[in-house]
A and B are shown apart, each in its own frame.
Chain A
Amino acid sequence: MKFMKLFRRLKGIGWGVHPADHKRPAADAPVRAMPVSARLYLPLQQHLGGPARPVVLVGQKVRKGELLAEAQGAVSAPVHAPTSGVVVAVTEVAAPHPSGLTLPAIILEADGLDEWTELRGCDAPFALSAAEIGRRVAAAGVVGLGGAAFPSAVKLVGAARARVAALVINGGECEPYLSCDDRLMRDSAPAIVDGIRLMLRATGAGRALVGIEDNKPEAIAAMRAAVAGIGAVRIHAVPARYPMGSEKQLIQVLTGIEVPADGRPADIGVIVHNVGTALAVRAAVREGKPLISRLLTVNGRCANRPGNIEVRIGTLAEEVIAFAGGLKGDGLGLARRVIGGPMMGVQIPHWRVPVVKGTSGILALDATEVDGIAGRETAPCIRCGSCVKACPMGLLPLEMSARIRNGAFAEAIPFGLKDCIACGCCAYVCPSHIPLVQYFAHAKGELAGQERDRLRAEATKKMARQRQERVEREAREKAEAAARRKAGRAAAAGKQGEPACFNPRPD
């Protein structure tokens, strides 16, 4: 057993890819804070789960940090005002999504004062109960800032219930180009560690393992300095390999335990949070500040001045780019607009989309960069197996895509379609440049649609049955009422001897 472990360590990590990271010089430039824009566009669904429900009226004045929309349902997160101003509309705005479709959103016009609402902080947060920390995190609308935007409070409370043993903090930031987590760890390591300790308190976990890729030596040094003397939090340098920042991979590297295929990390007593989330949790609990701004990376060869920028949620990507220094040659060489990282981010059709809680980067890529990542001429599959070796989940991408191409989506499931994390390693290494991830996204969407149809059919059946019952019940009641009337009439006729005519509309 020991020998096998040693052997695995010597062999190194087989999965994943190692693209050129392009993180510097953006990572080394100091953070710039962007002033508040005139208008902020705040989608009601910036997280996984149910959309938030607006609690403000058009024309209402709000102050910075005030609740605009409340969480709705078990998995949801509220939305707060990123600045003080007036609600001008509750309408639809373009979503940061490849489809170019819209999302319901609140549009806020800033008044320029930027004054805070009353904040309910806490000077001694470690005296709070775990449930109270969870409530405060939920009220602040904190979601996972690594990109998936899962409501953090739901995860913390669930972890406390599942009695997880370890908290894994994701400082991997394996996506090329992005450096916002790196910057956070360099600049605010003590605050992050404070946030991690709050998370430990909220989940009841005994230890926290922070995984940071070894291509960020400054971040590792800063975090190591910040945890000096705190035994529960450990900093681990992990090999820089994409997708190290994916939760299942990071857990396996840090703890040696593999998350089962159809399970969640909590099943093996672990939960994963991002370093940025830890910082947001600290702000929410200590200062009572809701999540109204975030750090994001503006990068790509088309960007004039790549760097990390502190941006209010709801700012248009267009304005962020203009603040960052604009595009080279007025954007003539622009080949692709990406929100998020180049591997898993979404390609958007235009820059007029708002920054949301999960936006980790805005990339303006030129043709040479796009050629290096995707968008090349597709050739037939030569069954070389590169994708199988690269897949961090141990799936068979070539078999899945061949079936999906024929429209046999369900046949791809035995090869692991449901475990696919859409990291893009397979498409990255494919010598035939097959857009494998797009195939998988397509199949997942179609399968979800089929499942939706199935549920809908079941609901229809139930509704039809209920209607049938209602119709029968009404007929029965009518018949009974008629019988009663008849009996009453007969009784009346027998008593007074005159015809009953009080019911002009017998039906």
Chain B
Amino acid sequence: MSDYYAVKDNGAESRIFNERLVAAFIIIGVLTSALMARLMYLQIVGHKHYATMAKENSVKIVPLVPTRGIIYDRNGKILADNTPSYSLDITPEQVDDMADTLGRLQKLLDIPQDKIDAFKKQYKRQKRFTSTPLLMNMGDLELAKFAVSRPYFPGVDINTHLVRYYPYGDLAAHVVGYVGRINEDEQKQLPESEYRGSTHIGKLGIEKSYEAELHGKAGYAEIETNVQARMLGTLSETNSEQGGSLYLTLDIDLQKTAYDALAGYNGAVVALEVKTGGVLVLASRPGFDPNPFVVGIGNDAYRALNESQDQPLYNRALRGLYPPGSTIKPFIALAGLEYDAINATHKLYCPGYFQLPGSSHKYRDWRKGGHGSVDMSYAITQSCDVYFYRLALSLGIDHLQAFLKKFGFGDSTGIDLVGEKSGLLPSREWKEARKKKPWFPGETVITGIGQGYWQVTPLQLARATAILANKGEVFTPFLVDRIVNAHATKPGSVANKSSLSLDPKHLNTVIAAMVNVVHSPRGTAKSIGYGVNYHIAGKTGTAQVFNIKQNAKYDEKSIDFKLRDHALFIAFAPADDPKIAVAVIAENGGHGGSVAAPIASKVIRQYLTSVRTEARHED
């Protein structure tokens, strides 16, 4: 701080400042002279050149907007299409009496007054020879009415534009997404030459993730104009290039089955093709109709969607965070075997609750009386909680966390869709960093049954199930199978593959137990095991929405629907040669076995039937 008390030499400071003023004058003078020199160059030396260019500047460059690529499902059904939309345009200079024309049009087509007023305002700002739209998105009736009377309306024309259309509406809105008008901020970030003339851009889902591929390449036409800028003719054209069409791995029929089966619940269904990682179903319910977003959804309609209790805009399959509940037990069993923390045939006694040494807190089993003496297979089949409380405790949180991380929990899957959530796989480090508290053994106990801080997305759960089905082959799930444009077909996204080296014996033990969940008479999902000629390996789960107090009795009927447990189910089939892996979450569904499992079963049956039919056709 010594400077602060130093004596200021006012005279010297003034001298410096005045010297700087002179310097500033000189710098400003020099720079201004440079500007003037450049102006002289342009306006004296270059004048002739530029004046000729200005005169010949009768050539206007008009962008040619590329047609957006189409999005297909795996069977070639169109998920996002470009459909013609008709507008009624008026060219003022060809109209003799505008008031009369507008009056007759209003009568003929029953046009609301505010549209007439808006048109009047707009057309006065335009040049007389440019056409201005009066009506957009004309219906069939309006089109027919006008077509008949067209000769009486010189200067009034119907023009066609292409508008994005999603034929399946709410069914796949979260996956396919939608396009919307380019806003100011997006405008700034977009490559200007590619988007001159484009009005829409992908805002969500595949439309957003693959914007670059779908958009195509803009072309431009050189158009000759006269001094009033009236277009005289086209001199040359560089054609635009249609955007690439996307073929998804999604099966829209299967998606519909899943979506319909989920009716009555909010939730998500994810199904993956086990061999490739291709996404067959990515359903989130409730959905929403993406079509209004294309033309511009009204404020009220948007608010209704955004503020709805059921959150239809929310992609539960990709972003929904749920405790995995008992669906995690096969993975924990596998961890126990891999870390040699337990022997599969070793039996533990389940009295219906578990207590940590020196604690009176009772961790309860879902079955009040307990399961008695259980080995691993039986513990999975019956979903015995006590077995997994004890197994988790003997594994310890560090081993649990390290093992489950390999199956992709706590990390985004890397799917080619924007907005994925990574979920949460709790660890000692995480808790210390986030909650500033040490990890308690009790937390390890409940981690064993997929409760506590755990958060998984349905997509993560499906992928982990597929990894299990694949005997430890890890892959990145993907939606776009291939991109087809005028020049070439290229793969959508490169699926990374790697392998967890797991002991096949351990895997078989766990998978056999999962088959028992569905096909043994004591299985928690035995209802879906009847009448199928293949084996399904599955696991039910029930995730608590809130904690039940000690000793309080859980009565499903008396509590509010919104507080009921989430029903979960994971499965893959056929168990001996897995083709499809599914994860289902029905919010507030109560029981995994009775609510979530039948949904998965429908999806599996339909898929395996279609695969077999295909195979037969190929033979």
A and B held together in a complex: no
- Contact residues of A with B, CB < 8 Å? none
